[in-house]
Amino acid sequence: MKIAFVGKGGSGKTTLASLFLRHLAAESPAPALLALDADINQHLAAALGAPDGLPLPTLGAHLALIKDYLRGDNPRVLSAADMVKTTPPGRGSRLVRVDEDNPVYDACVRVVEGVRLAVTGPFAESDLGVACYHSKVGAVELLLNHMVDGPGEYCVVDMTAGADSFASGLFTRFDVTFLVCEPTVRSVGVYRQYLDYARDFGVRVAVVGNKISDDEDLAFLRERVGDDLLTWVGRSAHVRATERGEVRPIDDLEPRNRDALRAMRSLVDGVDKDWPRYQRQAVEFHLRNAAAWASDRAGRDLAEQVDPDYVPGPVLIG
C-alpha cells in the first residue's frame, strides 16, 4: 500500500507519519516497510528518533542512478523531463518491491529506529531555477510509479505542506491519503482545498484530526469535516518527549492515540483487499509500456507472483 500524509504546514504530517511507521515497525514480524520523506522540511528521520545530524544519503543526489535502474534494459530513450515530472504510472521497464535488494535502496535507504527510510534531501539554493525541488520529489514519484506493493507491504510518504503537494503528479499515486488536520479554521481550509482538487483525480482522502485538546476541538472538527474524519490524535506527551530527543517505545504512546493508529491501519488494510485488482493493473501498465519486458525474466517472475494465471498480452513497443 502506498500511503501519503498531507495537510497544512505544521499540522503534524511528519509526526503522524512517524507514529504510523513506528506502529507498523513494532509488529512481530515487522511488515515490509519503506518510509519516504518528500517534505521540503526534512524532519521525518528526527521524528522517528534519529540522532541529531545523522548523515543520510538523499534520493535527490541519486536521481541518475534511480532513472538508470528503473529504465532497466528498456531501449527507449526517455528525456529527463519524461522521467522526472510527467512520468505516467508504470512507464519504464523495471518494477521494484517495497523491500528487496536493489542498487537504489542500497544507495539511498537507511534504517532509522527499525524503519527503512529514504529522504529526498533538503531544499537548497541550487534547487532554484533549473533543478527545482520538484525534481527531488520526482525521484519519489518515479519510485512509486515502479513500485508493486503486495498485501501487508507499506510505503509511507511524508509529503510537503498544503497545495505544494499538487505541484507534481505525486499526489495521485497513493492508495490512501491521510490528511492531517488541526482544529483550526486554516487547517480545515487546507483540507477543503485538498479535497476539491483531489476529488477530480479519484484520490482517497481520510482526515486524521491532530493536536486535539478537548471536546470543543473535536466538535469543531466533526462539524467541519463530517464523515471524512476517520480518527483523531490528541496532544501527546510522547510526541513532546520525542521532540526533546527521547526515544520511547511506541507502546508508551497514550492509549487514545494508539487507537487512532489502529484505525488508520485498519482503513489501509481494508483497501488492501482490492490488492489483486490494483496489482494486476500495475503489472498490465508495465507489460503494455515496457519494450524490454518480454525478455525481462525478473519482471515475468513478478507478474506470475502477482497472478499465477496471468497471461501476458501483446507487448507494445514504443
Ligand X SMILES: Nc1ncnc2c1ncn2[C@@H]1O[C@H](COP(=O)(O)OP(=O)(O)OP(=O)(O)O)[C@@H](O)[C@H]1O
Query: Binding of ligand X at residue 15 (CB under 6 A)?
Result: yes
Cβ nearer to ligand X, comparing 107 with 161 = 161
Q: Tell me if the bond preceding 57 is cis, omega within 30° of 0.
A: no
Among left, alpha and beta (phi > 0; psi -120 to 50; other), residue 130 is alpha
Minimum distance of ligand X from residue 16's CB (angstroms): 7
Q: Please give the grid coordinates belonging to residue 168.
A: 507534481
Which stretch, 4-12, 25-33, 93-101, 188-196, contacts ligand X (CB under 6 A)? 4-12
What minimum distance in Å lies between the beta carbon of 206 and ligand X? Answer: 16
Q: Which is nearer to ligand X, 249 or 314 (CB)?
A: 249
x-marked contacts with ligand X along 118-147 as a string, rule CB under 6 A: ------------------------------
Q: Work out whether 10 is an interface residue with ligand X (CB under 6 A).
A: yes
**Binding test (CB under 6 A) with ligand X, winner from 48, 206, 239, 260:** 239
Does 43 engage in binding with ligand X (CB under 6 A)?
Answer: yes
What cell numbers appear for 11 in the block? 499540522
Q: How many CB atoms lie within 10 A of CB 131?
A: 14
**275-304 mask for ligand X (x: CB under 6 A)?**
------------------------------
CA distances from 74 to 60, 68, 285 (A): 23, 10, 14
Name the segment binding ligand X (CB under 6 A); options: 35-43, 99-107, 191-199, 272-280.
35-43
Nearer to ligand X (CB atom), residue 216 or residue 243 = 243
The conformation of residue 52, written as its DSSP 8-state character, comes to T
Among 24, 34, 37, 39, binds ligand X (CB under 6 A): 39
Pairing between strand 153-158 and 115-119?
unpaired
**What is the C-alpha to C-alpha distance for residues 84 and 134, in angstroms, rounded to an integer?**
9
Answer for the pair 157, 174: CB distance below 8 angstroms, yes or no.
yes
Nearest to 137, CA basis, from 47, 40, 4: 40
Contact between 35 and ligand X by CB under 6 A: the answer reads no
Binding string to ligand X for residues 172 to 211, with x set by CB under 6 A, is what?
A: --------------------------------------xx
Verify binding: residue 161, ligand X, rule CB under 6 A: yes
HSE (side-chain half, CA atoms, 13 Å) at 94: 18
> Could you say which of 11, 145, 231, 289 contacts ligand X (CB under 6 A)?
11
> Which residues make Cβ contacts (< 8 Å) with residue 145, sequence separation at least 6?
87, 88, 89, 90, 91, 92, 173
List interacting residues with ligand X (CB under 6 A).
7, 9-15, 39, 41, 43, 161, 210-211, 233, 235-236, 239-240, 243
